[in-house]
């Protein structure tokens, strides 16, 4: 009895798997081959697949670069992007085109590639442009001469936790 139930269960499982294995694509083809038309108002879905050779992707346009060599202290990828492209936010695009450079740490002599199609100017970046991003340092002796000439010392400003 046990063997009969087991063989019946296995047979049922095989039949179910065989019916699931038939694809829905095969059914419309069979009805089309037999010449039977679908009932009026009910159209069968189209399962047509384009089996032609895949189309080759169009070649990407060749990117030409302008190369900027870092020569000033304080240069950053965003400052370079600001000068050559007109927008400091373009540093992200420059980062993509310079995967060998860490945008957080560039040094004198690094070469930064800038896509020419983004450029607003090819004029070399002047030091004054780099310096404009940093506050001017006050001369140390200028502050002393005024306090020493009046004879009174200013109390130093305290900092740190209170």
Distance (Å, whole) CA 128 – CA 69:
16
Query: What is the phi/psi pair of residue 109, to 5°?
Result: 100, -15
Does residue 34 or residue 100 have the better pLDDT? 100
Tell whether the model's pLDDT for residue 89 goes beyond 90. yes
**Per-residue pLDDT averaged across 4-31, rounded?**
64
Does residue 96 or residue 151 have the better pLDDT? 96
Nearest to 94 by CA among 82, 132, 4: 82
**Residues whose CB falls within 8 Å of the CB of residue 130, separated by 6 or more in sequence, listed in order:** 72, 73, 74, 75, 79
Which CATH class, in words, describes the domain spanning 65-131? alpha beta
Tell whether the model's pLDDT for residue 121 goes beyond 90. yes
Nearest to 128 by CA among 89, 86, 83, 88: 83
Averaged pLDDT of the chain: 78
Which pLDDT belongs to residue 99? 94
> Above pLDDT 90, what percent of the chain?
44
Contact by Cβ (8 Å): 68, 112: yes
Structure tokens at 96: 């993509």
Grade residue 97 by pLDDT with cuts at 50, 70 and 90.
very high
The residues spanned by each domain of the chain are: 65-131
CB burial of residue 94 (10 Å; 0-12, 13-18, 19+): buried
**Three-state secondary structure call for residue 4:** helix
The phi-psi region of residue 61 (left if phi > 0; otherwise alpha if psi is between -120 and 50; otherwise beta) is beta
Which pLDDT belongs to residue 136? 82
**Per-residue pLDDT averaged across 114-118, rounded?**
95
Nearest to 77 by CA among 99, 53, 43, 102: 102
Least confident among 15-24, 54-63, 86-95: 15-24
Looking at residue 120, what DSSP letter applies?
Answer: S
Least confident among 34-38, 64-68, 155-159: 34-38
């Amino acid at each position: 009895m046990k063997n009969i139930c087991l063989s019946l269960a296995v047979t049922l499982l095989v039949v179910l798997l065989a019916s699931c294995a038939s694809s829905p694509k095969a059914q419309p083809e069979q009805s089309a081959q037999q010449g039977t038309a679908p009932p009026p108002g009910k159209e069968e879905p189209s399962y047509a697949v384009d089996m032609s050779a895949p189309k080759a992707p169009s070649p990407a346009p060749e990117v030409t670069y302008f190369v900027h060599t870092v020569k000033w202290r304080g240069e950053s990828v965003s400052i370079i992007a600001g000068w050559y492209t007109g927008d400091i936010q373009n540093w992200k695009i420059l980062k993509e085109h310079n995967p060998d450079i860490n945008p957080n740490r560039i040094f004198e002599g690094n070469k930064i590639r800038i896509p020419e199609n983004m450029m607003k100017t090819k004029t070399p970046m002047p030091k004054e442009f780099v310096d404009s991003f940093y506050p001017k340092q006050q001369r140390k002796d200028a502050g002393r001469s005024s306090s020493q000439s009046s004879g009174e010392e200013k109390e130093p400003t305290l900092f740190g936790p209170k």
